[in-house]
Amino acid sequence: MTSLVSAQGVSKQFGSFTAVDNVNFEIESGRILGLIGPNGAGKTTLLKALLGLTDCEGQLSVMGLDPFKQRKKLMQNICFIADVAVLPRWIKVSQLLDYVEAIHPNFSRARAEELLQQTKIMARSKVKELSKGMVTQLHLSIIMSIDAKLLILDEPTLGLDIIFRKEFYANLLNDYFDEERTILVTTHQVEEIENLLTDVMFIDEGRILLDSPMEALAETYVEVLASGENADKARGLGPISENSLFGKSVMIFEGVAREHLEKYGELRTPHVADIFVAKVKGARQ
């Protein structure tokens, strides 16, 4: 496997505010990485740096290119959906296809038209006449018709209803993703995408709190449901978080072997969202 993205000591300052603070990570090709972080954690800034939309300190390489200096070349192999609102409202669907076809060397118009056939979007419609969900469908249809190595999605389903959200990820996985491609996605709704991720990265206050493959997550993190005396004993092993549920304590452990914990109660693999909350709270204390 080769590293598609490599970041070493990447930082970005806005005045005295540090949006991204000395971040190091690698993304290998063929992975689906979820970048999870609260608002203002530095997710969008980091994505912008990867896309060459903003400059930054440190070493950042995407497909062997410097994103900021070689943005045009980079954009031939990266696709990007920022938010549902970014398609220009005045443009007609057919014009949009004409434009992307002329600009993008890896765009297949036939494929885009085929994908649009499956929706209610008309070629003569203007973007402003489409519903929010349809605009996302349109954007996704264009993106999926571009043969790109890296797809970056920043809150792609924000403001969409549950049916569109499910459909969005289903289309992405079934019609787009393969070993040649890599997807980097940020979202608030972790639970909706956690079963399609291969890797997960937590970010808060500009720092990476966790960077792990999903399989390893299940090995490293264990959730114990314990009560009474068992709960006290388990607590002695140093859980990273504890909540109570129906009179039982729910504790999450990091790096504690399962055989040490199973005698105290029922073991489960915690949800990504729960690990995330535990890590963020832990880091902020």
Partner 1 sequence: MITHLLALLKREIWEHRAIYVTPIAIAGIVVLGTLTALMFAGDFAKELDVAMFGAQNIAGETERRAVLSGLFFGSSGLFFLALGILTVFYSLDSLYAERKDKSILFWRSLPVTDAETVVSKLLTALVVLPAATIVAVMATHIMNLILTSIWVSMKGGDAGLLIWGSVSLFSDWLSLLIIVYATAIWMSPFIGWFLFVSAYSKRSPFMLAFLPLVALPMLEGIFMRSSEFAQVVWGRLGSIPIYSGIDLESLFDEDRFELSDQSLSVLSYLDIGHFLSSPAMWAGVVICGLLSFGAIYVRRFRDDS
CB of 183 to partner 1, least distance (A): 15
**In the window 100-119, what residues touch partner 1 (CB under 8 A)?**
100, 102-105
Residue 174 Cβ, how far from partner 1 at the closest point, in Å?
Answer: 23
Binding positions for partner 1, 157-176, rule CB under 8 A: none
Q: Which residues pair with 225 in a beta bridge?
A: 250, 266
Task: Decide whether 4 or 278 has the Cβ nearer to partner 1.
Answer: 4
Cα separation, 174 vs 140, whole angstroms: 13
The nearest distance, CB 162 to partner 1, in angstroms, is 25
Pattern 83-102, partner 1, x by CB under 8 A = x-xxxxxxxx--x--xxx-x
> What H or E segment, with its residue span, contains residue 139?
helix 132-144
Two structure tokens written together for 39? 């608002």
Instruction: Measure the CA–CA gap between 23 and 236, rounded to whole angstroms.
Output: 33
Residue 127's contacts (CB-CB under 8 Å, 6 or more residues apart) are 87, 88, 89, 90, 91, 92, 93, 96, 135, 138
Tell the smallest beta-carbon distance from residue 56 to partner 1 (Å): 10
Residue 115 belongs to what H/E stretch? helix 109-117
Stretch 186-215 residues interacting with partner 1 (CB under 8 A): none
From 82, 121, 201, 275, residue interacting with partner 1 (rule: CB under 8 A): 82
- Note whether 267 and 236 are within 8 A (CB): no
Residues of this chain, 24-63, that bind partner 1 according to CB under 8 A: 44-45, 48, 51, 53-55
Q: Is 129 in the site for partner 1 (CB under 8 A)?
A: no
Residue 134 or residue 251: which is nearer to partner 1 going by CB? 134
One-letter identity of residue 200: V
- Torsion angle in degrees (nearest 10) through CA of 130, 132, 133, 136: 90
- Verify binding: residue 79, partner 1, rule CB under 8 A: yes
User: Is 284 an interacting residue with respect to partner 1 (CB under 8 A)?
Assistant: no
Q: Which residues bind partner 1 (CB under 8 A)?
A: 14, 44-45, 48, 51, 53-55, 71-76, 78-83, 85-92, 95, 98-100, 102-105, 139
